[in-house]
């Protein structure tokens, strides 16, 4: 994965002309042009040139004492003078009353009104350097406030990325900070997750189009304005075609930096290293599909362990709320230390390398993957690759028990038991015979297994199977009738449980 660029610091924000006029020590007065609250100033510049156009960068409060004004100058001179300032992008004009002019020329006032250029009267007691210093002071305060806002946003986004649902949390925090909409789009252009107010149809279509644009073009970012809404799209550095897109009614100077931080975090959350390891995993998948045995493809999975010594856990997981999206599933795999993730429906399956056994055959002290905040996990016993299918069943049963008992994690027990003393072939033959009346109805077998594992609890079994408790009662009654057995007898229950473990 290409390392995402660290976003630069936000630019210095402009200051409102209204804030400058509110400085009582300056005594400035707006005498022409639009309201001061609608005008922003980027810096102050003093010039007595009759044509200041070549010396302006745009956004200035241009200060002049009118030294350049010819004696007897009329409307034509001031009209041309103001037109050149507006053409250069000047934000406002400040006219000093001393030492040349006692009042602001009316022709200048008329020209500024005609061109919509704010005209500020600077009193005799106020120096231009004092006005410039006030502008820089206001800009310094605005920059400090913006840096604080960006810093707080960065901390908030980082905290959101550490939550159990990192992608939705980052999008929610970003949408709140920008007072708008934040959405994550997949490589196919489909919206995977979003937060913030739903925009109108026109804006929604434009945002999706902007996301598709940065997916297929060299620039990693793009902006647009639609229906008065500012749009921006950021191609994530994961290289997998994911795009962060935002829509907000206005855009502050630091908003780009905040969105860039979110893009970096989402890049890390969505990225998968398409390196030699990734290629090896693809090769392992192809070999499995073409009939290779699991133990033959294990060295390609990038675990770093020796061929036959590595052991594995299969993990089944469900989020505490909602259904997992592909990004959340990938984040869970990252937390468990494995890129081998399968998300189907409301369950995520992860294949986790557990490490080898010691030469003496003893297990490592750690019993496998740890609980993950926001998830309910079922963990299989540690198995060899040839036992993956059995471990998958173990993990599914462990997850059902975890959900039924409302605990974060349940592990499948792998201790020796009396049932292990019976030869496998004989035990399996007996199990098939004993459970034959239920063989044609898998729902009955599954319900009986869950019910027995939960000590006959109707409520917990209903939770584990996601059915009503009356359905559980009906199925167990049907099992008792088909098996012609008294399920209240502990000996019967024990025999059935041993048989179910063999199926």
What is the rounded distance in angstroms from the CA atom of residue 40 to the CA atom of residue 18? Answer: 8
pLDDT for the residue numbered 86: 96
Question: Mean pLDDT in the chain?
Answer: 83
Residues 6+ apart with CB under 8 A from 300: 280, 281, 283, 284, 287
- At residue 167 the predicted structure's pLDDT band, cuts being 50, 70 and 90, is confident
Give the chain's length. 503
Residue/partner pairs of 433-440 with CB below 8 Å, 24 or more apart:
434/483, 434/495, 434/496, 434/499, 435/483, 435/496, 435/499, 435/500, 435/503, 437/482, 437/483, 437/484, 438/479, 438/482, 438/483
pLDDT for the residue numbered 13: 77
**pLDDT average, residue stretch 393-402:** 87
Top mean pLDDT of 75-84, 324-333, 473-482 is at 75-84
CA–CA distances in Å: residue 377 to residues 215, 339, 351, 369: 35, 17, 13, 9
pLDDT for the residue numbered 98: 80
What is the rounded distance in angstroms from the CA atom of residue 211 to the CA atom of residue 234? Answer: 8
pLDDT for the residue numbered 420: 54
CA–CA distances in Å: residue 251 to residues 39, 180, 210, 262, 488: 16, 10, 17, 16, 69
- At residue 333 the predicted structure's pLDDT band, cuts being 50, 70 and 90, is confident
**pLDDT average, residue stretch 380-401:** 87
| Residue 131 CA to its chain's centroid (Å) | 45
- Pairing label, strands 119-122, 29-32: antiparallel
Strand partners, 452: none
pLDDT for the residue numbered 61: 96
**pLDDT average, residue stretch 437-448:** 89
């Amino acid at each position: 994965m290409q390392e995402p660029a660290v976003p630069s610091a936000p630019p210095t924000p402009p200051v409102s002309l209204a804030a400058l006029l509110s400085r009582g020590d300056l005594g400035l007065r707006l005498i022409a042009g639009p309201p001061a609250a609608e005008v922003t100033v980027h810096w102050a510049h003093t010039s007595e040139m009759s044509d200041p156009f070549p010396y302006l960068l745009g956004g200035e409060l241009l200060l002049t004492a009118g030294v350049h004004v010819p004696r007897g100058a009329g409307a034509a001179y001031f009209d041309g003078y103001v037109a050149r300032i507006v053409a250069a992008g000047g934000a406002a004009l400040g006219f000093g009353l001393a030492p040349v002019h006692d009042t602001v020329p009316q022709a200048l006032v008329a020209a500024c009104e005609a061109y919509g250029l704010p005209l500020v009267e600077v009193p005799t007691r106020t120096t231009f350097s004092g006005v410039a210093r006030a502008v820089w002071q206001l800009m310094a305060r605005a920059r400090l406030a913006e840096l604080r806002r960006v810093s707080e946003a960065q901390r908030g986004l980082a905290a959101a990325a550490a939550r159990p649902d990192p992608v939705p949390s980052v999008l929610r925090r970003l949408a709140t900070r920008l007072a708008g909409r934040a959405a994550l789009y997949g490589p196919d252009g489909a919206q995977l997750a979003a937060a913030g107010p739903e925009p109108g149809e026109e804006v929604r279509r434009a945002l999706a189009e902007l996301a598709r644009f940065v997916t297929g073009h060299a620039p990693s970012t793009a902006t647009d304005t639609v229906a008065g809404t500012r749009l921006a799209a950021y191609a994530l550095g994961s290289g997998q075609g994911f795009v962060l897109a935002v829509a907000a009614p206005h855009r502050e100077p630091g908003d780009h930096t905040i969105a860039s931080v979110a893009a970096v975090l989402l890049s890390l959350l969505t990225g998968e290293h398409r390196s030699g390891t990734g290629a090896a995993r693809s090769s392992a998948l192809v070999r499995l599909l073409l009939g290779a045995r699991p133990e033959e493809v294990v060295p390609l999975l990038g675990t770093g362990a020796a061929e036959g010594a590595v052991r594995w856990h299969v993990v089944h997981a469900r989020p505490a709320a909602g259904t997992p999206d592909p990004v959340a599933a990938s984040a869970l795999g990252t937390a468990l230390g494995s890129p081998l993730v399968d998300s189907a429906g409301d369950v995520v399956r992860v294949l986790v390398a557990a490490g080898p056994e010691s030469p003496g055959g003893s297990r490592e002290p750690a019993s496998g993957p740890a609980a993950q905040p926001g998830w309910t996990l079922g963990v299989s016993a540690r198995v060899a690759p040839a036992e993956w299918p059995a471990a998958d069943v173990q993990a599914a049963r462990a997850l059902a028990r975890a959900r039924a008992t409302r605990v974060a994690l349940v592990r499948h027990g792998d201790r020796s038991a009396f049932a292990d003393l019976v030869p496998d072939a004989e035990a399996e033959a007996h199990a098939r015979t004993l459970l034959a009346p239920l063989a044609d109805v898998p729902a009955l077998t599954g319900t009986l297994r869950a019910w027995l594992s939960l000590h006959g609890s109707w409520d917990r079994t209903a939770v584990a199977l996601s059915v009503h408790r009356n359905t559980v009662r009906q199925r167990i009654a049907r099992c008792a009738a088909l098996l012609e057995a008294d399920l209240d007898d502990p000996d019967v229950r024990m025999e059935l449980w041993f048989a179910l473990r063999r199926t």
